[in-house]
Amino acid sequence: MVAGTSKTMRTLARLTGAAPSSAGPRVKRTLTASSLRQLIGFISRMTAADRKELDGLSSDRAGQIVAGALVAEAAMRALNVEALDICPWALREGVILRYLDTQAGFTPENGTKVQ
């Protein structure tokens, strides 16, 4: 399984037809290489002002989404990945969750409480 964990990946998936955030964090969202290539062809010809009008893209990300899409596409191509699942949380949330587990006495390897 390959996962995308950043807000940029979530946004790219949203722009290619994945469910919006309002559908909840546990809804399966996928980004495919073919849909990403189509999206790049579309958004790379738009101005940042025009991209701000796209449903699912915040105005803060309109200026950087093309670069993010190009990096994502290059990474998927280099790793020979045709599709990736979108994780609802990014790396920092994973670090925080792991820390909280260890503070509560859980071992990350097996999820059991340490006595």
**8-60 pLDDT per residue, tens:** 999 999 999 999 888 988 899 999 999 999 999 999 999 999 999 998 898 98
Longest Cα–Cα distance in the chain:
59
Fill in the amino acid letter for 12: L
**81-101 pLDDT per residue, tens:** 999 999 887 777 778 877 888
Helix, strand, coil percentages (3-state) for the chain, rounded to 5, are: 45, 10, 45
**63-81 pLDDT per residue, tens:** 999 999 999 999 999 999 9
pLDDT at site 93:
76
Instruction: Give dist(CA 94, CA 10) in Å, integer.
Output: 16
Phi, then psi, of 33 in degrees rounded to 5: -65, -40
